[in-house]
Amino acid sequence: MVMPGYRGRIERILKRASVKVGDKVKVESRGRTYVGVLMPRTDLGDPNHLVLKLSSGYNVGVRVEAATKVTLLESGELPRLTLPRPEIVQDPNKPLVTIVGTGGTIASRVDYRTGAVYPSFTAEDICSAVPEIAEIANIRVVEACNVFSEHMTPDLWVKIARVVAREINAGAAGVVVAHGTDTMGYTSAALSFMLRGLFRPVVLVGSQRSSDRPSSDAALNLISAVAVAARSDIAEVTVVMHGTTDDDFCLIHRGTKVRKCHTSRRDAFQSINEVPLGMVRNAQIKMFRDDYQRASQGGRVRVQGKMERRVSLVKVTPGLPSNVIRDIISSGGKGIVLEGTGLGHAPESLFDGLALAQRRRIPVVMTSQCLWGRVDMNVYSTGRDLLRLGVIPAEDMLPEVAWVKLMWVLGRTRDPERVAKLMLQNVAGEITPRTRPDVFLRPIFEAK
């Protein structure tokens, strides 16, 4: 691509002047003269401007009109970002940790097409930017995929799970999955269900401030995640992210109990309905609990990756009509998770649709849009009615975790009774047997 971002008239003018991106040019337009390096143009901006980087370092957009004159002063290279390749020295006394790249903000860089942050670093680039991780472990880097977190799919979960299993079975002490934050909770839940016989730590990590800025949280998160993968005895899928807004420590969340609770803060990830498993400060791990699966030296991880894609997550709203359910069923839906109100309720207007689901042997699972707390459908008559309609109460499971789990369960069996049994069986810590009194929202900022 010689002329990234430039189209139409502006592209013709640049071509006529034999100018390409990276060249030093003079642009004369309406009594102004600018000298600078031609930069790529974002697709999203006004197409009639070209972007110059002046010698002061400032970028400036120049409107191109018919009379605009562009002169080539000096040919240049397209600006390219190069980090020195990391010199990975293998130390036989250190454990091996595999970092699985998937794209997303822990590995991102300026993108000229959109003018926005976009994944383009390879996982190796991260190693070079955060040399501390090499002090903790021998690092191996593989790429499972390279997509933005919001473009993650169930197919890609399976792909990631296979790579993780392969690495652990081949002897990695632990695996770190670098993932965009938007859907990290979904992927962590999916991996929790898919990875059977897991005997080593699998840690998902991301960053809320992109790694192209000095204040990025990526480094602390990654160092902490590698520490958990290399040094912890947690044979579960976890999420390791900032514990507070400070660059102080990270929390280790169970992969089925964690949720992104803020659009932008570093400490967006919170454990819901339980305390985190532990924390990491200066690459040292401190556990808060002992009810987790212990790691062992030997074993074999299998991937149960069969997923029923036709599962819907429906948020219950007042007066929600039954045709929402009917439409799902008529378009081939095989399972429904409801995000009910309060203790797990839905309005009468939905009952016809639920009755239809019951007749068609399509499982319906109830979670709560309160997020915190457990559903209980015996307290009020509406709840009892819903139970009679075959709705499965999913305890304190997070709605999106129940959605992932139902996809996974329907990959095993279609039998409604077995589905109900499996949904209520604690497969990967997704159900908290007892709720501690101290696990509800605390003040985010503790006023001093």
Partner 1 sequence: MKSGTDYERIGLRVGFEIHQELDTHKLFCRCPSRLRDEVPDLQVRRKLRPTQSELGEVDRAALAEAIKGKAFSYQVYFDSVCLVELDEEPPHPVNEEALDVALQVALLLNAKPVDEVHVMRKTVIDGSNTCGFQRTMLVATDGSLEVNGRRINIPTICLEEDAARKVGENAEVVHYRLDRLGIPLIEIATGPDFSDPETPAKAALYLGQLLRATGKVKRGIGTIRQDINISVAQGARQEIKGVQELGLISTVIEREVQRQLALLEIRDELRRRGAGPVEKNLIDATEIFSKTSSRVIQKALASGGLVLALKLAKFAGLLGREIQPGRRFGTELSDRAKIYGGVGGLFHTDELPGYGITAEEVDRLRQRLGAGEMDAVVLVADVKERATAALEAVLQRANEALVGVPEETRRALEDGNTEFMRPLPGASRMYPETDIPPIPITAARIRRIRSRLPETPEKICARLVESYHLSQELAERLSLSENLKIFEELVASTGADPTLIAATLEGTIISLRREGVKVELITSEVLRDLFSSVAKGDLAKAMEDLSRAVSLEPGAAYTYVLRGDLYWEMGDLESARRDYAKALELSPEYHEALKRKRRLEDKGTGHDRKA
Considering the rule CB under 8 A, would residue 264 count as an interface residue with partner 1? yes
Helix and strand totals (H; E) in the chain = 11, 23
* Nearest residue (CB) to partner 1, 223 versus 439: 223
Considering the rule CB under 8 A, would residue 150 count as an interface residue with partner 1? no
d(CA 397, CA 199): 24
Please, what is the minimum distance in Å from the beta carbon of residue 421 to partner 1? Answer: 44
> Catalytic: 315?
no
Residue 284 CA: distances (Å) to CA of 54, 228, 278, 416: 46, 8, 11, 46
d(CA 76, CA 209): 32
225: left (phi over 0), alpha (psi -120 to 50) or beta: alpha
Structure tokens at 405: 């789990």
Candidate list 20, 24, 257, 260, residue with the active-site label: 260
Query: Of 80-88, 96-104, 360-368, 413-421, which segment contacts partner 1 by CB under 8 A?
Result: 80-88
Considering the rule CB under 8 A, would residue 331 count as an interface residue with partner 1? no
Please, what is the minimum distance in Å from the beta carbon of residue 270 to partner 1? Answer: 15
Provide φ and ψ at 293, rounded to 5°. -70, 130
> Catalytic: 396?
no
Asked whether 324 and 298 are in contact (CB, 8 A), the reply is no
Considering the rule CB under 8 A, would residue 92 count as an interface residue with partner 1? no
Options 67, 82, 93, 331; binder of partner 1; rule CB under 8 A: 82
Q: Count CB-CB contacts under 10 A for residue 263.
A: 9
Long-range contacts of 378-383 (CB under 8 A, 24+ apart): 379/343, 380/343, 380/345, 382/345, 382/346, 382/348, 383/343, 383/344, 383/345
Candidate list 42, 105, 367, 382, residue with the active-site label: 105
> Catalytic: 306?
no
Query: Of 34-42, 162-170, 269-277, 372-380, which segment contacts partner 1 by CB under 8 A?
Result: 34-42
Options 81, 170, 379, 441; binder of partner 1; rule CB under 8 A: 81
The identity of residue 384, as a single letter, is: R
Considering the rule CB under 8 A, would residue 45 count as an interface residue with partner 1? yes
Query: Of 159-167, 207-215, 271-279, 374-382, which segment contacts partner 1 by CB under 8 A?
Result: 207-215
Asked whether 103 and 146 are in contact (CB, 8 A), the reply is yes
Query: Of 209-217, 253-261, 334-342, 395-403, which segment contacts partner 1 by CB under 8 A?
Result: 209-217
Options 126, 129, 163, 168; binder of partner 1; rule CB under 8 A: 129
Alpha-helical (H) ranges within 368-443 are 381-388, 399-410, 416-424
Considering the rule CB under 8 A, would residue 51 count as an interface residue with partner 1? yes
For residue 245, give the DSSP letter: S
Considering the rule CB under 8 A, would residue 55 count as an interface residue with partner 1? yes
> Catalytic: 182?
yes
Please, what is the minimum distance in Å from the beta carbon of residue 31 to partner 1? Answer: 7
Considering the rule CB under 8 A, would residue 135 count as an interface residue with partner 1? no
Considering the rule CB under 8 A, would residue 20 count as an interface residue with partner 1? no
d(CA 215, CA 327): 47
Residues taking part in catalysis: 105, 181-182, 260
- The site for partner 1 (CB under 8 A) is made up of 29, 31-32, 34, 37, 42, 44-46, 49, 51, 53-63, 79, 81-84, 110-111, 115-117, 129, 131-132, 209, 211-216, 219-220, 245-248, 263-266, 445-448
